[in-house]
Amino acid sequence: MLPKTTDPLATIAWSRLRDLSAPGTLPELCDLLAGEPDRFERWVLRCGDIICDFSKQRANTAVREALFALAREVALPEWIEALFSGAEVNNTEGRAAKHWALRLTGADDASSSELFATVLDARQRMYQLAEDLRAGRLIGASGRPLRQLVNIGIGGSDLGPRLACDALAPYCTSELAAAFVANVDAAELGRVLALCRADETLFVVTSKTFTTQETLRNAQSAKAWLRDALGGEAELGAHFVAVTSNPQAAAAFGIDTDRVLPMWDWVGGRYSVWSAVGFTLAAMIGPKGFDAFLGGGAEIDRHFRASPLAKNAPVLAALFGLWNHNFLNFADQAVVPYARGLELFAAYLQQLDMESNGKGVNRLGQPLGMASCPAVWGTVGTSGQHAYFQWLHQGIPGAPVDFVLVAQPEVAWAEHHEMLLANALAQSQALLQGKALSAALAETPARTDLAAHRSFPGGRPSTTLLLPRLDPRRLGQLLAFHEHKTFAQGVLWGVNPFDQWGVELGKNLASPLLDALRGGPEPEALDASTRGLLREIKALRGGSARG
């Protein structure tokens, strides 16, 4: 039984938050920190090994208590329990969301369940295949060991494993190389294949339905490349692994059944890196490393399920995100990890957050009366400081920033890492403090005309997540933390964070346009703009004349 879906706008807490955010009511952020000498100690939570500093959020105790009241009014604790009890929290598709079960181990309460047995069997099959690959026992059609992995997938079948392999590069074996292909643009596949030996390449084709257009097109082109390089009669199936819930389609493609790893409809793509979707990661860091990755995620599962609201770090992150978006009227959320290994983290969060909660109706299909989900974007620091940080500091309205810091460096060059960390701390301090016009005038008394240009409003909120190091366990913690933050925000806004109907419309419209580009008739229902662009493209490609 699912908890009731409550319109947050109808809650007492929402009205209270609206009052607390009224102009002139909320203290300035600098004043909040100055007036609470122990604010850091009281506004920091520890979640696994992650230190979560919320002290630079523009919120006081009254705001925080009202946010907790909102969480209770929309039954967030009950929704959290529904998630972990296997209820159909994905109500629009009639499914549970059991991605957390992918992280179960023998130490978990559910370890004796049928669910755990299913997960463990798939995990052991993945580990055996990964170990065979690492040991050189997977042989290609020409008799050579397969040493180059090419992961073909898109969305959740790409972003999670791509991020994890990049983040954990220091823990990856040097005996294998991994590359990723997602875009249907042939340039992406072509650039990867240019660096591969066909007789040593293993393609990992990941698609839940095995009908994803971009993935199948890339897989078919990869197969043709192998056929051309190895000869038409070669056993090309030896060069493929499939991860899918449609093994029949994988078999029809020519992939051996013992090379097909399972997916389930109770795991959404953007939550699936913990499953066989992470096969490339398991091969690169090994089963022990993957176990550590899973274990880190499981630690956050226990924290999220058991912690009261006031001590629940993903919940607090979700609440402050809602506060910034719906009451302080920030439309964007910047994510800036000061770690090269997390270069792809913002792109990963774009899908996790925006595909999950970028909705216009609630769980019951009723229009939302408020905005859900800010636009999420960012890059690594310090690179971003020389790009969009100008806007963060002086633009209107700017955006809250989530900083992610790693205390221990990936490479033991202390001077570099100290400079990196100092810059991260300085940016969060600058967003907080700004620079008053009087201070700018004092700096350049002879150029009063420049003072306004050299002043900064400050008072711009940020959260800092501090990890001791970036290793498999801590990466697992970081990703699970954000999964649960996303779920909590979905509950707070009243939306279903596990469907993605917005992905389907464009895919359906692409099919008749593809036929038209290949010489077929133009779709009758085309608008004038799309029809004009279609004809211009065909003319530039040497097709039919412009009409």
- Residues with active-site annotation: 355, 386, 507
State phi, psi for 505 to the nearest 5 degrees. Answer: -60, -50
Residue with tokens 């706008």: 9
At 181 the three-state DSSP class reads strand
The b-or-e profile of 343-361 (16+ CB within 10 A means b, else e) is: ebbbbbbbbbbbbbbbbee
Q: How many residues does the chain have?
A: 547
Task: Provide Rg for the chain, Cα atoms.
Answer: 25
- What is the distance between the alpha carbons of residues 62 and 16, in angstroms, rounded to a whole number? 9
The tokens describing 327, both together, are: 């009451």
State phi, psi for 269 to the nearest 5 degrees. Answer: -55, -40
The neighbouring-strand residues paired with 377 are 334
Give the relative orientation of helices 61-73 and 12-20 as an angle to the nearest 10 degrees. 160
In this structure, are strands 50-53 and 44-47 parallel, antiparallel, or unpaired?
antiparallel
The secondary structure of residue 378, as a DSSP letter, is -
At 19 the three-state DSSP class reads helix
* Cα within 13 Å of Cα(75), Cβ side: 12
Continuous segment of H or E residues that includes residue 213: helix 213-230
> Residue 467 in contact with residue 474, Cβ under 8 Å?
yes
Amino acid at 139: I
- What is the distance between the alpha carbons of residues 101 and 81, in angstroms, rounded to a whole number? 14
The secondary structure of residue 27, as a DSSP letter, is P
At 347 the three-state DSSP class reads helix
In this structure, are strands 148-152 and 201-206 parallel, antiparallel, or unpaired?
parallel
In this structure, are strands 50-53 and 462-467 parallel, antiparallel, or unpaired?
antiparallel
> Residue 146 in contact with residue 140, Cβ under 8 Å?
yes
* Cα within 13 Å of Cα(84), Cβ side: 20
The tokens describing 225, both together, are: 């490349």
